[in-house]
Amino acid sequence: MKKPLLTIAISLALSAPLAVQAGEKEDFEELYAKAQSTHKDAGTFQWTVTGDRLKAAKSAADNGEHKKAKTMANEALKLAEESVAQRKKQQEAWRMVAIGN
């Protein structure tokens, strides 16, 4: 009677971290994909540092370092968002110091 309960308890205890890990992995993949597509949106205004973070995120994920992977992907996303903002802003702002109109 006690044994099955114990088995359930143990398997629950074991599966909990796995579930968390699986959740982290999904979170990471979503974040990473978003960072990648935002980086792509920057077009000819991509930043080298965004690419560096994306690479670091990927290799951390491949090594099973999920926390680091998420941090790197998150940084990549923020950098990519700024590069997109720069691209949009420069469509007009380039004229500010241009010689000739």
Partner 1 sequence: MRKGLISLCLTTLALSATAPVFAETTQADIDRGKELAYSRKDGNCLACHKMDDGKLTGNIGPELAEMKARFPDREMLFKRIWDETQFNPVTVMPPFGRHMILSKQEINRIIDYLYTL
Partner 2 sequence: MLKAKVILVSLGIALAIPQAMAGSTPEEDRKEAVEYFKQMFPDVPFEEFVNGQYALNEDRRKQWESMQDFPPYEFAVAEGQEMFETPFANGKTYASCFENDGIGIRQNYPYFDTKKNEVITLELAINRCREANGEKPLRWKKGAIASISAYMASTSEGKPIDIKVPDNPDAMAAYQDGKEFYYSRRGQLNFSCASCHVQNPGKWIRADFLSPALGQPANFPVHRSKWGELGTLHRRFAGCNNNVRADPLPAQSEEYRNLEYFLTYMSNGLPVTGPATRP
- From residue 48, give the alpha-carbon distance in Å to each of 13, 35, 45, 97: 43, 14, 10, 25
Task: Tell me which of partner 1, partner 2, none is bound by residue 78, counting a contact when its beta carbon lies within the kind-specific cut-off of 5 to 8 angstroms.
Answer: partner 1
Task: Tell me which of partner 1, partner 2, none is bound by residue 100, counting a contact when its beta carbon lies within the kind-specific cut-off of 5 to 8 angstroms.
Answer: partner 2
Stretch in the footprint of partner 2 (CB under 8 A) among 1-9, 29-37, 70-78, 89-97? 89-97
CB 52 within 8 A of CB 39: no
Q: Least Å distance between CB 83 and partner 2?
A: 8
In angstroms, the CA 8 to CA 3 distance is: 9
In angstroms, the CA 74 to CA 31 distance is: 7
From 49, 58, 65, 71, residue interacting with partner 2 (rule: CB under 8 A): 49
Site for partner 1 in 54-83 (CB under 8 A): 75, 78-79, 82
